[in-house]
Amino acid sequence: MTSTPDYSQLFRLDGRTAVVVGAGGIGREAALALAAHGARVVVADLSLDAAQATAAAIAERGGIAEATRLDVLDDAEVEAAAERFGDASALVFTAAMNVRKRMEDYTMEEYDRVVNLNLRSSFQLIRHFGKAFAANGGGSIVGFASIRAQVVEPGQGVYAATKAGLVQLAKTAAAEFGAQGVRVNVVAPGIVETPLTVQIKQDEEWDRAYATKSALGRWSRPDELAGAVVYLASEASSFVTGTTLFVDGGWTAIDGRFTPPTA
Protein backbone atom coordinates (compact mmCIF):
# COMPACT_ATOMS: atom_id res chain seq x y z
CA MET A 1 0.00 0.00 0.00
CA THR A 2 1.43 3.37 -0.99
CA SER A 3 1.37 6.32 1.33
CA THR A 4 -0.96 9.23 0.61
CA PRO A 5 0.88 12.27 -0.76
CA ASP A 6 0.81 15.46 1.24
CA TYR A 7 -1.55 17.36 -1.04
CA SER A 8 -1.07 20.56 0.94
CA GLN A 9 2.42 20.72 -0.63
CA LEU A 10 1.29 19.94 -4.17
CA PHE A 11 1.99 23.41 -5.54
CA ARG A 12 4.85 24.36 -3.21
CA LEU A 13 8.23 25.20 -4.74
CA ASP A 14 10.26 25.65 -1.57
CA GLY A 15 13.97 25.10 -2.08
CA ARG A 16 13.67 25.28 -5.86
CA THR A 17 14.84 27.85 -8.37
CA ALA A 18 12.72 29.05 -11.28
CA VAL A 19 14.09 31.07 -14.18
CA VAL A 20 11.58 33.44 -15.76
CA VAL A 21 12.54 35.00 -19.08
CA GLY A 22 10.51 38.17 -19.55
CA ALA A 23 10.09 40.67 -16.72
CA GLY A 24 6.94 42.46 -17.80
CA GLY A 25 3.27 41.55 -18.18
CA ILE A 26 2.72 37.79 -17.99
CA GLY A 27 6.35 37.18 -17.07
CA ARG A 28 6.17 39.53 -14.12
CA GLU A 29 3.03 37.90 -12.75
CA ALA A 30 4.47 34.43 -13.30
CA ALA A 31 7.59 35.40 -11.37
CA LEU A 32 5.54 36.83 -8.49
CA ALA A 33 3.37 33.72 -8.31
CA LEU A 34 6.31 31.31 -8.37
CA ALA A 35 7.99 33.27 -5.59
CA ALA A 36 4.77 33.27 -3.56
CA HIS A 37 4.86 29.47 -3.68
CA GLY A 38 8.37 29.36 -2.30
CA ALA A 39 10.62 29.42 -5.34
CA ARG A 40 13.78 31.46 -5.61
CA VAL A 41 13.21 33.29 -8.89
CA VAL A 42 15.78 34.40 -11.42
CA VAL A 43 14.22 37.18 -13.49
CA ALA A 44 15.88 37.54 -16.89
CA ASP A 45 15.09 40.25 -19.42
CA LEU A 46 16.74 42.25 -22.19
CA SER A 47 16.15 45.26 -19.94
CA LEU A 48 18.07 44.84 -16.70
CA ASP A 49 16.01 47.67 -15.21
CA ALA A 50 12.80 45.74 -15.89
CA ALA A 51 14.28 42.57 -14.42
CA GLN A 52 15.41 44.44 -11.33
CA ALA A 53 11.97 46.02 -10.90
CA THR A 54 10.27 42.62 -10.92
CA ALA A 55 12.90 41.18 -8.57
CA ALA A 56 12.32 44.12 -6.22
CA ALA A 57 8.56 43.49 -6.30
CA ILE A 58 9.22 39.90 -5.26
CA ALA A 59 11.51 41.01 -2.43
CA GLU A 60 8.89 43.47 -1.20
CA ARG A 61 6.53 40.53 -0.78
CA GLY A 62 9.06 38.55 1.19
CA GLY A 63 10.34 36.42 -1.67
CA ILE A 64 13.84 35.76 -2.96
CA ALA A 65 14.79 36.90 -6.44
CA GLU A 66 17.77 37.71 -8.62
CA ALA A 67 17.77 39.92 -11.70
CA THR A 68 19.91 39.32 -14.76
CA ARG A 69 20.11 40.68 -18.29
CA LEU A 70 19.49 38.23 -21.11
CA ASP A 71 19.22 38.80 -24.84
CA VAL A 72 17.37 35.74 -26.11
CA LEU A 73 18.47 36.57 -29.66
CA ASP A 74 22.11 36.11 -28.67
CA ASP A 75 22.89 32.39 -28.89
CA ALA A 76 25.97 32.66 -26.70
CA GLU A 77 24.02 34.44 -23.96
CA VAL A 78 21.27 31.82 -23.97
CA GLU A 79 23.78 28.99 -23.78
CA ALA A 80 25.64 30.73 -20.95
CA ALA A 81 22.39 31.29 -19.05
CA ALA A 82 21.53 27.60 -19.35
CA GLU A 83 24.97 26.69 -17.97
CA ARG A 84 24.67 29.19 -15.14
CA PHE A 85 21.12 28.30 -14.12
CA GLY A 86 20.98 24.70 -15.30
CA ASP A 87 20.44 23.49 -11.74
CA ALA A 88 17.08 25.30 -11.59
CA SER A 89 13.91 23.23 -11.49
CA ALA A 90 11.88 25.34 -13.91
CA LEU A 91 12.22 27.64 -16.89
CA VAL A 92 9.38 29.91 -17.98
CA PHE A 93 9.73 32.07 -21.09
CA THR A 94 7.28 34.65 -22.42
CA ALA A 95 9.14 36.91 -24.89
CA ALA A 96 7.23 37.47 -28.14
CA MET A 97 6.26 40.08 -30.70
CA ASN A 98 3.75 40.50 -33.50
CA VAL A 99 3.54 42.52 -36.69
CA ARG A 100 -0.11 42.65 -37.71
CA LYS A 101 -0.07 42.62 -41.51
CA ARG A 102 -1.54 40.52 -44.25
CA MET A 103 1.06 38.15 -45.68
CA GLU A 104 1.19 39.98 -48.99
CA ASP A 105 2.23 43.17 -47.18
CA TYR A 106 4.94 41.65 -44.98
CA THR A 107 8.56 42.56 -45.54
CA MET A 108 11.15 39.86 -45.03
CA GLU A 109 12.78 42.03 -42.37
CA GLU A 110 9.51 41.96 -40.41
CA TYR A 111 9.19 38.23 -40.99
CA ASP A 112 12.69 37.62 -39.64
CA ARG A 113 12.09 39.76 -36.55
CA VAL A 114 8.91 37.89 -35.58
CA VAL A 115 10.30 34.43 -36.35
CA ASN A 116 13.62 35.06 -34.62
CA LEU A 117 12.11 36.31 -31.36
CA ASN A 118 9.10 34.02 -31.18
CA LEU A 119 10.45 30.77 -32.57
CA ARG A 120 14.23 30.78 -32.93
CA SER A 121 14.80 32.04 -29.38
CA SER A 122 12.29 29.48 -28.08
CA PHE A 123 14.23 26.73 -29.83
CA GLN A 124 17.48 27.91 -28.24
CA LEU A 125 15.98 28.23 -24.75
CA ILE A 126 14.29 24.83 -24.90
CA ARG A 127 17.26 22.89 -26.18
CA HIS A 128 19.92 24.48 -23.99
CA PHE A 129 17.91 24.42 -20.76
CA GLY A 130 16.51 21.00 -21.67
CA LYS A 131 20.03 19.62 -21.95
CA ALA A 132 21.08 21.27 -18.67
CA PHE A 133 17.98 20.08 -16.81
CA ALA A 134 18.45 16.55 -18.14
CA ALA A 135 22.02 16.49 -16.87
CA ASN A 136 20.85 17.67 -13.44
CA GLY A 137 18.04 15.19 -12.87
CA GLY A 138 15.07 16.88 -14.54
CA GLY A 139 12.97 20.02 -14.51
CA SER A 140 10.00 21.75 -16.06
CA ILE A 141 10.07 24.02 -19.12
CA VAL A 142 7.04 26.23 -19.75
CA GLY A 143 6.72 28.26 -22.94
CA PHE A 144 3.98 30.66 -23.97
CA ALA A 145 2.16 30.06 -27.23
CA SER A 146 -1.25 31.53 -28.02
CA ILE A 147 -4.72 30.64 -29.24
CA ARG A 148 -3.21 31.63 -32.61
CA ALA A 149 -1.40 28.31 -32.60
CA GLN A 150 -4.82 26.81 -33.30
CA VAL A 151 -7.13 29.52 -34.68
CA VAL A 152 -6.17 32.48 -36.84
CA GLU A 153 -7.48 35.68 -38.39
CA PRO A 154 -6.22 37.95 -41.19
CA GLY A 155 -2.98 39.69 -40.27
CA GLN A 156 -1.80 36.97 -37.88
CA GLY A 157 -0.10 34.58 -40.30
CA VAL A 158 3.53 34.82 -39.24
CA TYR A 159 2.76 35.19 -35.54
CA ALA A 160 0.40 32.21 -35.68
CA ALA A 161 3.00 30.11 -37.48
CA THR A 162 5.59 30.81 -34.79
CA LYS A 163 3.20 29.88 -32.01
CA ALA A 164 2.18 26.66 -33.75
CA GLY A 165 5.87 25.97 -34.25
CA LEU A 166 6.51 26.45 -30.53
CA VAL A 167 3.83 23.88 -29.72
CA GLN A 168 5.56 21.33 -31.93
CA LEU A 169 8.99 22.16 -30.50
CA ALA A 170 7.61 21.57 -27.01
CA LYS A 171 6.14 18.21 -27.99
CA THR A 172 9.41 17.12 -29.56
CA ALA A 173 11.46 18.28 -26.59
CA ALA A 174 9.08 16.44 -24.27
CA ALA A 175 9.80 13.27 -26.22
CA GLU A 176 13.55 13.80 -26.40
CA PHE A 177 14.16 14.84 -22.77
CA GLY A 178 11.37 12.95 -21.02
CA ALA A 179 13.47 9.94 -20.07
CA GLN A 180 15.77 12.30 -18.15
CA GLY A 181 12.88 13.72 -16.12
CA VAL A 182 12.42 16.94 -18.10
CA ARG A 183 8.84 18.01 -18.76
CA VAL A 184 8.06 20.52 -21.52
CA ASN A 185 4.66 22.18 -21.84
CA VAL A 186 3.05 25.25 -23.35
CA VAL A 187 0.49 27.71 -22.04
CA ALA A 188 -1.78 29.18 -24.72
CA PRO A 189 -3.47 32.39 -23.57
CA GLY A 190 -6.41 34.01 -25.25
CA ILE A 191 -6.64 37.79 -25.46
CA VAL A 192 -4.62 39.32 -22.63
CA GLU A 193 -4.23 42.96 -21.61
CA THR A 194 -0.51 43.45 -22.28
CA PRO A 195 1.64 45.98 -24.19
CA LEU A 196 1.29 43.67 -27.20
CA THR A 197 -2.46 44.36 -27.37
CA VAL A 198 -2.55 48.12 -26.74
CA GLN A 199 -3.43 48.76 -30.39
CA ILE A 200 -6.53 46.61 -30.05
CA LYS A 201 -7.67 48.09 -26.75
CA GLN A 202 -7.61 51.55 -28.30
CA ASP A 203 -10.16 50.53 -30.94
CA GLU A 204 -13.57 50.29 -29.21
CA GLU A 205 -15.18 47.98 -31.77
CA TRP A 206 -12.14 45.69 -31.94
CA ASP A 207 -11.86 45.65 -28.15
CA ARG A 208 -15.53 44.70 -27.72
CA ALA A 209 -15.43 42.06 -30.47
CA TYR A 210 -12.54 40.26 -28.79
CA ALA A 211 -14.15 40.49 -25.36
CA THR A 212 -17.42 38.97 -26.53
CA LYS A 213 -15.72 36.14 -28.44
CA SER A 214 -14.71 34.30 -25.27
CA ALA A 215 -17.20 32.31 -23.22
CA LEU A 216 -16.50 34.57 -20.23
CA GLY A 217 -17.24 37.70 -22.25
CA ARG A 218 -14.10 39.63 -21.36
CA TRP A 219 -10.35 39.96 -21.82
CA SER A 220 -7.99 38.24 -19.41
CA ARG A 221 -5.43 39.86 -17.14
CA PRO A 222 -1.75 38.80 -16.97
CA ASP A 223 -2.23 37.57 -13.40
CA GLU A 224 -4.82 35.07 -14.62
CA LEU A 225 -2.05 33.17 -16.41
CA ALA A 226 0.06 32.79 -13.26
CA GLY A 227 -1.84 29.80 -11.90
CA ALA A 228 -1.13 27.78 -15.04
CA VAL A 229 2.58 28.52 -14.67
CA VAL A 230 2.68 27.45 -11.02
CA TYR A 231 0.79 24.27 -11.90
CA LEU A 232 3.18 23.32 -14.71
CA ALA A 233 6.28 24.21 -12.67
CA SER A 234 5.18 22.22 -9.61
CA GLU A 235 4.68 18.58 -8.66
CA ALA A 236 0.96 19.11 -9.27
CA SER A 237 1.73 18.43 -12.95
CA SER A 238 4.36 15.72 -12.43
CA PHE A 239 2.87 13.50 -15.17
CA VAL A 240 2.03 16.31 -17.60
CA THR A 241 4.34 16.85 -20.55
CA GLY A 242 4.10 17.63 -24.25
CA THR A 243 0.76 19.33 -23.81
CA THR A 244 -0.77 22.74 -24.46
CA LEU A 245 -2.82 24.28 -21.67
CA PHE A 246 -5.32 26.76 -23.08
CA VAL A 247 -6.11 29.63 -20.72
CA ASP A 248 -8.39 31.45 -23.11
CA GLY A 249 -11.73 31.98 -21.38
CA GLY A 250 -13.30 29.42 -23.69
CA TRP A 251 -12.27 31.20 -26.91
CA THR A 252 -11.23 28.02 -28.73
CA ALA A 253 -14.28 26.12 -27.44
CA ILE A 254 -16.79 28.33 -29.23
CA ASP A 255 -17.74 28.01 -32.88
CA GLY A 256 -18.08 31.50 -34.32
CA ARG A 257 -19.34 34.73 -32.79
CA PHE A 258 -23.07 34.21 -33.14
CA THR A 259 -25.45 32.80 -30.52
CA PRO A 260 -28.40 31.29 -32.42
CA PRO A 261 -31.89 31.12 -30.95
CA THR A 262 -32.55 27.90 -29.06
CA ALA A 263 -36.31 28.07 -28.79
Contacts from 44-52 at CB under 8 Å and sequence distance 24+? 44/19, 44/20, 44/68, 44/69, 44/70, 44/81, 45/21, 45/69, 45/70, 46/70, 46/71, 46/72, 46/95, 47/23, 50/23, 50/24, 51/23
Query: 177 to each of 19, 130, 169, how far by Cα in Å?
Result: 18, 7, 12
Other C-beta atoms closer than 10 Å to the C-beta of 97 total 13
210 is catalytic: no
Identify the CA nearest to 86 among candidates 161, 139, 35, 20: 139
244, HSE (Cβ side, Cα atoms, 13 Å):
23
Amino acid at 39: A
Q: CB neighbours of 70 closer than 8 A, spacing ≥ 6?
A: 21, 44, 45, 46, 77, 78, 81
7, 106, 111, 159: which is the annotated catalytic residue?
A: 159
Please give the positions annotated as active site. 159
